[in-house]
Chains A and B, each alone.
Chain A
Amino acid sequence: MWDYTKSVIDHFEHPRNAGKLKDANAVGQVGSLACGDALKLFLKVDPETEKIEKAKFLTFGCASAIASASALTELVVGKTLDEALAVTNEEIAAFLGGLPKQKMHCSVMGKEALEAAIANYRGQSVEEHKEQEVLCKCFWVDEEKVRENIRKHGLKTVEEVTAYTKAGGGCGNCIGDIKRILAEENGSIVEQQVEQKKPKMTNIARMKLVSKVIDEEIAPMLRKDGGDIELVDVDNTDVYVKLRGACARCANAKATLKHIVEAKLRESVDEDIKIIEAE
Chain B
Amino acid sequence: MQEKMQVYLDNNATCMVSPGVKDAMMPFFGELYGNPSSMHNFGGQVAKHLVIAREKVAAMFNVDPDEIVFTSCGSESNNHAIRGVLESNKEKRHIVTTKVEHPAVLNVYRFLAKNKGYKITELGVNKQGDLNLDELKTVLSPDTALLSVMAANNETGNIFPVKEIAEIAKEKNVVFHTDAVQAAGKIPLDLKKIPVDLLSLSGHKLHTPKGIGALYIRRGTAITPFIIGGHQENGRRGGTENVPYIIGLGKACEEAVAHMNEEAGHVSKLRDKLEAGLRSVITHTYINGNPLSRLPNTTNIGFEFIEGEAILLHLSKAGIAASSGSACTSGSLEPSHVLMAMGVPFTYAHGSVRFSLSRFTTEAEIDYTIKIVPDVIKNLRELSPFYEE
Binding site for B on A (CB under 8 A): 2, 9, 12-13, 15, 18-19, 29, 32-34, 36-40, 58-63, 65-66, 102, 138-139, 162, 166, 169-170
Contact = CB atoms under 8 A, between A and B. Distances in A.
B347 interface: yes
B313 A39 contact: no
A59 B306 CA distance: 9
Contact of A162 (B309, B326, B333): B333
Interface of B: 305-310, 313-314, 317, 326-329, 331-335, 346-347, 350, 382-386
B309 A59 contact: no
Contact of A36 (B331, B335, B384, B385): B335
A15 B382 CA distance: 12
Given A19-B382, A36-B333, A138-B334, A63 B309 contact: yes
Given A18-B383, A33-B347, A39-B385, A61 B333 contact: no
Given A60-B306, A166-B333, A36 B347 contact: no
Contact of B307 (A34, A40, A62): A62
A13 B379 CA distance: 10
B383 A62 contact: no
Nearest to A4: B313
A38 B326 CA distance: 14
Nearest to B350: A36
Nearest to A20: B385
Ranked nearest first, the 5 interchain pairs of A and B with the lowest CB-CB distance are: A169-B333, A62-B328, A62-B309, A40-B385, A58-B385
Nearest to B316: A1
B384 A58 contact: yes
Contacts of B386: 33, 38, 60
5 contacts: A12-B313, A59-B385, A60-B383, A62-B329, A166-B333
B309 A33 contact: no
A61 B384 CA distance: 8
B307 A36 contact: yes
A15 B380 CA distance: 11
A139 to B, nearest CB: 7
Given A12-B310, A13-B314, A18-B383, 16 more contacts: A15-B383, A33-B346, A33-B350, A33-B386, A34-B346, A36-B326, A38-B386, A60-B384, A61-B307, A61-B310, A62-B328, A63-B309, A63-B310, A65-B307, A162-B333, A166-B333
A38 to B, nearest CB: 6
Contacts of A139: 333
Contacts of B384: 58-60
A82 B256 CA distance: 66
A12 B382 CA distance: 14
A132 B190 CA distance: 56
A66 B383 contact: yes
Contacts of A18: 382-383
Given A61-B328, A62-B328, A138-B334, A38 B309 contact: no
Nearest to B327: A36
Contacts of A62: 307-310, 326, 328-329
B305 A60 contact: yes
Nearest to B306: A60
Contacts of A37: 307, 328
